[in-house]
Each structure stands twice: as C-alpha cells, then as structure tokens.
Amino acid sequence: MAIGFAHSPLVTFLLGLVSVVLLLVVLDLPAFVGLIISAFLVGVVNAVFVAEFTAADAASATAEAFGDGMAGIGIPILMAAIIGMSMLESGAAQRIVRGFQNVLGEGNSDIALWGSSSVLAIPVFFDSVFYLLAPLARSMRARVGKNYTLFIVVVGAGGATTHVFVPPTPGPLAVADRIGVDLGMTILLGVVTAVPAATTAGLVYGRWINARLDIPLRDAMATTTEELQEVADRDTESLPGVLESAMPVILAVVLVASFTFVDTFQEVWPALGGIRPVVAFIGDKNVALTIAALTAAWTFYRYSDLDAEAWTDELTEALKSGGNIAAITAAGGAFGAMLGASGIGDYITGALGDMGIPLLVSAWLIAAIVRVAQGSATAAMLTTAGIMAPQAPELAVHPAYLVMAIGAGGNIFSWYNDSGFWLVKEIGGLTQAETLKTWTVLTTIISITGVVTTLILSTVFPLA
C-alpha cells in the first residue's frame, strides 16, 4: 500500500539514476539484469510514495512494461538480426557499400550513409532504419578499415533527426494532429529544420568525434569481425547484385511506407480505402521485416556454401543474438516506464507552467525534461503536445513551429532509460561509454540545433 504523502518525483528519478549507474557502470552487471533491478527498485519507491501505486504494482507493472516493449520490438529485432547476419555474411551489405563508393567515392562514404538514413526514417520508425543500416555501417568499416565511429554517428543522426521533425514519421505526425497544424506546412518546416540538425549532429560532430574516438569493429549481430573482413576481401563478381543486395531494405521501407502513405492520404483520395486492409497487414513493421528477413536469408543461402541444416543453424544463432538485444531494449523501456509512473512528467510540466517562458522555449524545455526523466522521445513529444495544444492560438508565429520545438525537446540526451540507447549499443557493438559519447551526444546536438533553428526561422519568417 502506498503511503501517499507529498514527495517530489525528482527523488524517485535520482534514486533510479543512482541505481542504474551503480549496477551497470560500477558493478558492471549484464545490461538486462541491471535495468530490470533498477525498474523494480523504482517500482518499490513508487509503491511507497504514489497513492495509486501498490507494492504488487512494483512487480506487475515492470513485467507489463517489459512485455509491452517486447510486443513492440520483439519480432522486428529478431527479424532484423536475421537481416543483419544474412546481409553481412552473404556479401549483400558489402555490395551496397561498394555501390555507394562507386557513385560517391570512398571519401564520401559517410555522406552516403547519412543521406540514406535521413531519407529512410521519414516513412519508417528510427529503430527499423537502424536495424537495416547498421549492417552497412559495419561493412563500410570492414571495407575502409577505419571510421566506424563516423559511420555509426551518421546513421544514428540521420534517422534520429527526421524521426522527430518530418511527418509522416509517426511522432511529429501525431504532434501536428494534436495541435491541429496543417500537415503540408509541418512537412516543409520539418525538412528545413532537420537539414541543419542532421548535418551538425551527423557530419560535423561525426567527423569531430571520429578523429578523437576510434571504436573498433567488434563481434555483433551474430557476425564476427573475421567473417566481415573475409567478405570485405571478396571480388565484387562473387557478391550478389546491387538490386538483390538492397532488396531487404527496399522491401521493408516500401511495405511500411505503403501503410503510412495510405493512412496519411486516405481522406484526400478515398479510393485508397479499398487497399487499406491489405497495406495495414503488409505495412505492419512485424510483417514487413519478416518478409525482408526471408528475402535476405534466401540470398544468404544462395551465396554461401552451407547446406540447408547448416544454414538453419546460422539463422538460429542470429535469433539468439537478436533475443538478447530485444530483452535489453525492452528492459530499458520498462525502466523508463517505471520512472514515468512516478509522476515525473506532470511534476516537471507543472513546475514550468507558471514561469513566464516564451511558448516555443517552454515547449522545448518541457519535452526535453520529460524525455530525460522517462526516456521515450515519442512519449515526451505527445505529453508536451497535450499540454501546449490549448496555448497554440496564443502563438504569434505559425503553430508548425511549435511542432518543431516539441520534436527538438523530445530528442535530447538519450541515455539508460531509453530503449533506443540500448538498441544502438547492442546492434552497433558499442560499449556504454562509446554509446554515451556518440548516440547520447548526437541526440543532444540534434535537440539544441533544432530549437535554435526553430527560433531563428520563427523570428525571420513567422508565417502567421
């Protein structure tokens, strides 16, 4: 039974922070174990201080949040593990890398990955884009022999930027809908805001940190560095063709984007309603990534010397690797959910509500603090949109700028309570410290660059 007396949710947040740092950094426990213990601990603190939260909820709510996380990312990560392993070991990822280099030159490999990630993340969730492009970053490193830090940063920056700024990416699309903003203007301002943010976080910071941090290529995604290097040394003629190599990525993006397109424009073209049930199925990320995984696995079978039994064993090993990644990612989400249950979001928004800060800056601050406190960028954006929507008519600028400020705030400082942090760490084969220096910093740069761009644009072009 909760005691229910007044307390600051900041106490719960600080205890959760101390717990996760102690368990993961000081004691160096496995990430899944440390995150689940921290989630239970926060749940127990909630049971003491939150009136509607009981001791039984400390266990059941953690398990439920973990289950919800697995429901959202379990199948995609498992299928992504098959895609990653298959594209790496069949040589498909290496063939795409060589195609990039033939068109842009080896010196522009980072621009190729950056551009691909930025564009692909517009119709697709960031996690799906990272699943698909991480094998390319790893193959690029094996081919070039250096710059893995840069390749990981540009993939992460491109996807993370459009994920929060450019509809029909689900986050900004939902925020625009809640505030009641014209979709066309939101897309236009989203692109204009995303370009400097992605450039600064990806290419500028990526090249700066790459000169100071050399992240080695480690075993990850069920593929060893030796296997990657062996594929990197093959003749191009022995690799799959460019179209076949890219087909898993093309299929995944086209299938998911088909539902996004129909869902967005059905009111404009009612005839699209006839195909909506079909694209709702094949465009679901679980189904789309399963189809992509089967395609990648078939290419792997054709371009390997394995018999059917050995091929199946390789797929099973990939699934084992994916299961570990899924468990860690869902545990990070559960830890964030328990922090959210403490009431930290309402506490923060209430504290900022009467401070007289300009609306755009206030929206960014609220989204940023909620994001850091509970982990989820989308949750932070939607929470802030609900708070700021009634105040949108008071703006002296176009309300689409409010969507940009909220998106910028929601992207800041991804850390231990964000499932995306663990996804990047595990799939990229990074240490915790490397993930903080790359992923956490780049999300913060995107946030700050995004809000500065929004404030400048809204001053010069209010569009009201």
pLDDT (tens, 9 = 90+) of the chain, 464 residues, equals 444 444 578 888 888 888 988 998 889 888 899 889 999 998 898 888 876 788 888 889 999 989 988 988 889 889 888 988 898 888 888 888 788 778 887 788 899 899 888 877 776 668 777 887 888 899 989 888 899 999 999 999 998 998 899 876 777 878 888 888 887 788 899 999 999 999 999 999 999 999 999 999 998 777 778 887 888 788 888 889 989 988 988 888 888 888 878 877 887 788 788 888 899 899 888 898 899 999 999 999 999 889 999 999 999 998 998 888 888 888 888 888 888 888 876 777 667 656 656 889 989 998 998 898 888 888 888 878 877 888 888 888 999 999 999 999 999 999 998 988 999 999 899 999 999 999 999 999 999 999 999 999 999 999 87
Q: Are 197 and 172 in contact (CB under 8 A)?
A: no
Q: Residue 148 is encoded by which pair of tokens?
A: 């893995």
Torsion of CA 53, 58, 64, 67, to 10 degrees: 150
Q: What is the rounded distance in angstroms from the CA atom of residue 443 to the CA atom of residue 372?
A: 11
* Nearest Cα to Cα of residue 86 among 228, 346, 355, 298: 298
List C-alpha distances in Å: 70 to 23, 124, 319, 324, 326.
Answer: 22, 19, 14, 11, 7
Residue 460 lies in a domain: no
Residue 382 lies in a domain: no
Rg of the chain taking only CA atoms, in angstroms: 22
Q: Which residues of 396-433 are buried (b: 16+ CB within 10 A; e: fewer)?
A: ebbbbbbbbbbbbbbbbbbbbbbbbbbbbbbbbbbebe
Residue 392 lies in a domain: no
**Residue type (1 letter), 367:** A
Determine the pLDDT at residue 224: 78
Determine the pLDDT at residue 123: 63
Residue 316 lies in a domain: yes
Determine the pLDDT at residue 461: 94
Residue 125 CB partners (closer than 8 Å, separation 6+): 163, 169, 170, 285
**Residue type (1 letter), 237:** E
Determine the pLDDT at residue 6: 46
Residue 314 lies in a domain: yes
Determine the pLDDT at residue 425: 94
Residue span of the structural domain in which 31 resides: 9-340
Residue 244 lies in a domain: yes
List C-alpha distances in Å: 434 to 323, 420, 423.
Answer: 22, 14, 13
Number of domains in the chain: 1
Percent helix, strand, coil in the chain, to 5, is 80, 0, 20
Please identify which residue in the block is written with the tokens 């480690």: 218
Residue 441 lies in a domain: no
Cβ atoms within 10 Å, residue 199: 18
Q: Residue 162 is encoded by which pair of tokens?
A: 């459009």
Residue 349 lies in a domain: no
* Nearest Cα to Cα of residue 128 among 86, 166, 93, 170: 170
